[in-house]
Amino acid sequence: MDDRFECAADAVGTAARTALAPWGGAEACADAYEAVVRAATDAQLNIARAIPVEPMRTFVASCADLTRDVGATHLSRMRWILDI
Classify burial at 77, counting beta carbons within 10 Å of its beta carbon; exposed 0-12, middle 13-18, buried 19 or more.
exposed
Angle between helices 26-50 and 54-82 (to 10 degrees): 170
Report how far residue 59's alpha carbon sits from residue 68's, in angstroms, rounded to the nearest whole number: 14
pLDDT in tens, 19-55: 989 888 989 999 999 999 999 999 999 999 999 999 9
- Number of domains forming the structure of the chain: 1
Distance of CA 75 to the CA centre of its chain: 4
- pLDDT, greater one: 13 or 64: 64
- Confidence at residue 70, expressed as pLDDT on a 0 to 100 scale: 97
Report how far residue 45's alpha carbon sits from residue 61's, in angstroms, rounded to the nearest whole number: 6
List the domain range (segments joined by +) for residue 11. 2-82
